[in-house]
Amino acid sequence: MTTSKISPHNHKRCIDSAMSNAEQLCAQRGLRLTPIRRKVFELIWESHQAVKAYDLLERIRPFEMSAKPPTVYRALEFLLDLGVIHRVESLNAFIGCIDSGRTHEQLLLICTECQQVTECSAPEVMGALAAEIRMQGFSARQKSIEIHGTCRTCAQNADTKDTLPS
């Protein structure tokens, strides 16, 4: 019997790819990824958890002592406009975008246990939603669905805890 093993997530490759993509988008659009914008972007991509603006401010101060809230908010606005991060409205926080550089619909799965946020394209879900919006005669500017629950890893960890002897 063969078992299928899922390869571990290579987060460094994830970060490198996101940074390379952001640099390419800036070059294509004649924009600058300044040191502060780059650092904010790196801090957002440190994990797949949503990060709040004031947490970013605290984490950026060792690198930029003069950083103030507007410094971080301007960097966030730039990165949002560039399409390389998303705002997680329900958490008032930000995550890196896996499909960066273009406007697109978002289905965000937010784990309430580990705070990891997974971005999904979910074309069938978004297609059904678009059809309903059209039927209602509504004109949507942006579509984002945020679902809070428990990710597979946390659910498996909970199952393991439940089966361990006391």
Q: Known binding site for Zn(2+): residues?
A: 111, 114, 151, 154
Helix axis angle for 69-82 and 11-29, nearest 10°, is 80
Pairing of strands 93-96, 106-111: unpaired
25, 41 contact by CB (below 8 A): no
- Collapse the DSSP code of 58 into the 3-class scheme (helix H, G, I; strand E, B; otherwise coil) and give the result: helix
Nearest Cα to 118, choosing from 138, 134, 102, 96? Answer: 96
Annotated binding site: 111, 114, 151, 154
- The amino acid at residue 64 is E
Element (H, E) at 108: strand 106-111
- The amino acid at residue 3 is T
Give CA–CA dist 28/18, Å, rounded: 15
Query: Tokens in use for 70?
Result: 């507007």
